[in-house]
Structure 1
Amino acid sequence: MKDWAAVVAAGLALPGVEQGSRYGRPALLFRGRMLAATTAPDPASFVLHVALPDKEVLIDTDPATFWETDHYRGWPAVLVRYGTTATGRIATLLARAWWDRATIAQRRGYGERP
């Protein structure tokens, strides 16, 4: 994702995702819960909700894109740098964050977990 606008475009393509805010900063929300937000400590990154086991793999396999600070250690969120070549992977992770928060009926309508 080259910038927050690209993240928003990918997020709004998912059913029921809305723009909102977290801690006074722009965010993508689904069913009132954060999928992604601009609350990263570095303006060249954003925060993306991910499962903890996935987070470790992401940071280990692509540290140029995915990283964390002590503040995010132990939380199901990873920091993502804008402008890397991982656009497809990031879009998949955003869809996975949506799927993890979806109702059973929404999951059925969407299909398998990304």
Structure 2
Amino acid sequence: MSQALDDWPAVFAYAAGRPGATEGRYYGGQAIMAEPSNRPVLTGGREPDSFVFHIDQDHKAMLMDLCPDRFWQTPHYEGYPALLVRYGAAEPIAEWIDRALELAAALPRRKGK
């Protein structure tokens, strides 16, 4: 992956093409869901320079510690298994998207929103 993931259409297109990813809706917005769990992995965000990355609390804390300029949160996401990711270079975001799809796919199936 050499293309920068510098906006929602680029992130969405990359993630939609990954194994186990399906396009869906989450709270009314465009989302990438993991199959077979039907769990959200990526959603568009309210922040103009970021998208929402759904991941467990342990990975969330690690990513925010490792790269706080890329992975961050507003008070809205505190205590919730999601964080904001600033658009930019493809690596390591693409790797984390792939990993999040794997993690979400292994969870029990979620009923539709």
Offset of 1:77 from its aligned partner? 1.0
- Cα deviation, residue 28, structure 1: 0.7
Query: Contact between 2:53 and 2:84, CA under 8 Å: does it hold in 1?
Result: yes
Q: Which runs of 4+ in 1 moved over 3 A?
A: none
Structure 2 unaligned segments of length 5 or more: list them. 107-113
1:36 to 35, 38, 42: 42
Give me the identity figure in percent.
Answer: 39
| Alignment partner, residue 14 of structure 1 | 18
* Residue type of the alignment partner of 2:11: V
Q: Give the aligned partner of residue 104 of structure 2.
A: 101
Q: How many residues end up aligned between the 2 structures?
A: 100
Equivalent residue, structure 2, for 1:109: none
Distance in structure 2 (CA, Å) of the matches to 1:44 and 1:5: 12
More helix by share: 1
Say whether the 8 Å CA contact 1:50–1:93 is kept in structure 2: no
* Residues 60 and 101 (structure 1), Cα distance of their counterparts in 2 relative to 1, 3 Å cut: closer
In structure 2, the partner of 1:108 is none
Residue in structure 1 matched with residue 28 of structure 2 by the alignment: 24
Q: Is the 8 A contact 2:42 2:53 kept in 1?
A: yes
Instruction: Indicate the RMSD between aligned Cα atoms, in angstroms.
Output: 1.6
Compute the TM-score of the two structures, normalised by the length of structure 2.
Answer: 0.77
**Which protein has greater RCO, CA pairs closer than 8 Å, 6+ apart?**
2
> Equivalent of 1:2, from 3, 6, 11?
6
Gaps of 5+ in 1: 104-114
Return the TM-score normalized by structure 1: 0.77
Candidates 38, 63, 67, aligned match of 2:68:
63
